[in-house]
Amino acid sequence: MELPKLNFQETFDFKFKKDKDKFFIYDLIRKTYLLLTPEEWVRQHWVHYYLTVKSYSKSALITEKKIVLNGLTKRIDLLVTEKTEPVILIECKAPQIKLTEKTFEQTARYNSIIGAKEIVLTNGLQHINAYYENGEYQFYRAE
Task: For the chain, give every domain's residue range.
Answer: 16-140
pLDDT digits (tens, 9 = 90+) for 96-123: 999 999 999 999 999 999 999 999 999 9
pLDDT of residue 143: 67
CATH class of 16-140: alpha beta
Q: Which long-range contacts (CB under 8 A, 24 or more apart) does 3-9 make?
A: 3/36, 3/41, 4/38, 4/41, 4/95, 4/124, 4/125, 6/41, 6/42, 6/45, 6/95, 6/124, 6/125, 7/124, 7/125, 7/126, 7/127, 8/45, 8/49, 8/124
Kindly indicate the confidence band of residue 75, based on its pLDDT and cuts at 50, 70 and 90. Answer: very high
**pTM for this model (two decimals):** 0.94
1 pLDDT more than 90 = no
